[in-house]
Chains A and B, each alone.
Chain A
Amino acid sequence: MSGALREPWRSLRRQREAAAFGTWIFLGSEAMLFAGLILAFAVMRALHPAGFILAGRETEVALGTANTAILLTSSLTMAVAAEAARADLRRATLWGIGLTLALGAAFLAVKGFEWSSDLEKHLFPGEGFALAEPSAHIFFALYWIMTSLHAMHMLGGMGVVAWLGWQAWRGDRPLQSPAFEAAALYWHLVDIVWIVLYPLLYLGGRAP
């Protein structure tokens, strides 16, 4: 228990709650950032249903589904890492963190293949865009903004998780530190954002 407790908290429990509270406030601002984009998507979809259905059929549903499964699994390993750190289980913490980083890297790799396939199919809005429907431009503008912003959040999350993993590995940070749980909260929010993006970007217009 010793080592993790910092000023001004009198107990680790209070410190942990404060760290989680601060993280939740930050997550609220993150959620509003993505909510603005999702709102723009929802409004445009309401105004241009035909173009959005047409454009939605062009995204790579297999890669998007694989990435959703990868990210859901990374949330599992991150949750295990955070709980294991709290229970002072060093090996399980390090394994959880390592698997989370590997799954995060796998997500970004699949995303990279998907983006390059999108570019080959001329699905980047602008000159030579593949779809004639004007509102398909809007769909793909939002697709590129939302997926790249989400990927940046993945990179940021992986940076934080890798840093904590390094500290845990070296023994610089006690496993009781609330930082593991705070990083896990952030990771799960990035997962939730993807959970919402998945039906919007990949499942629209698939039904006959």
Chain B
Amino acid sequence: MRRGLGEDVPRTLSAILQHVLPVWLALLALLGASLALAYAPLHGLNGVVSLGIAAMKAILVAVFFMNLRRPDPLLRLAGGASLIWMSFLFALTFADLAARAPETQPQAGQGTGSEPPMRQPF
């Protein structure tokens, strides 16, 4: 039974546990994977991998525990808006950082020519 704003919520403890236990197991598996991969030689990609796994964990929590899977457009919009503002924050700051690097950043002058001293950010 699915009505309007996702009122088809579980009514018994076992139904609730069926919903949430697999999410928790997935979260713990991702935690284990992220710890193990942090020690693996991934040639500088360790940071990207660990942040990617963190994003997957955050999505699991938001979708299943914070109920964004329920078809409520208002709440999805409110949650998504924060993400959009944060992406502006990061995109504009890093655009500025990358564009200005050679003149004003601490490593200026130590680089090898005209390459900006920015390295792999993560």
Cβ A28 vs Cβ B78 within 8 A: yes
Enumerate chain A residues within 8 angstroms of B53, measured Cβ to Cβ. 199
Cβ B85 vs Cβ A28 within 8 A: yes
- Mark out the residues of chain B between 53 and 72 whose CB falls within 8 Å of any chain A CB in the assembled complex: 53-54, 57-58, 61-62, 64-67, 72
Cβ A68 vs Cβ B82 within 8 A: no
B99 proximal to A (CB < 8 A): no
Q: How far is the CA of A80 from the CA of B19 in the complex (A)?
A: 9
Q: Which of B19, B20, B42 has the most CB of A within 10 A?
A: B20
Interface string of B68-109 (1 = CB under 8 A from A): 000010110011011001100110011001000000011100
Q: Which of A20, A31, A45, A69 has the most CB of B within 10 A?
A: A20
- Mark out the residues of chain A between 53 and 99 whose CB falls within 8 Å of any chain B CB in the assembled complex: 61, 65, 68-69, 72-73, 75-76, 78-80, 83-84, 86-87, 89, 92
Q: How far is the CA of A181 from the CA of B6 in the complex (A)?
A: 14
A102 proximal to B (CB < 8 A): no
B residues in contact (CB < 8 Å) with A: 4-5, 7, 9-13, 16-17, 19-21, 23-24, 27-28, 31, 34-35, 38-42, 46-47, 50-51, 53-54, 57-58, 61-62, 64-67, 72, 74-75, 78-79, 81-82, 85-86, 89-90, 93-94, 97, 105-107, 118-122
Q: Report how many A-B pairs have Cβ atoms within 8 Å.
A: 160
A residues in contact (CB < 8 Å) with B: 13, 17, 20-21, 24-25, 27-28, 31-32, 35-36, 39, 42-43, 45-49, 61, 65, 68-69, 72-73, 75-76, 78-80, 83-84, 86-87, 89, 92, 181, 184-185, 188-189, 191-192, 195-196, 198-200, 203-204, 206-208
* Chain A residue with the shortest CB-CB distance to B21: A76
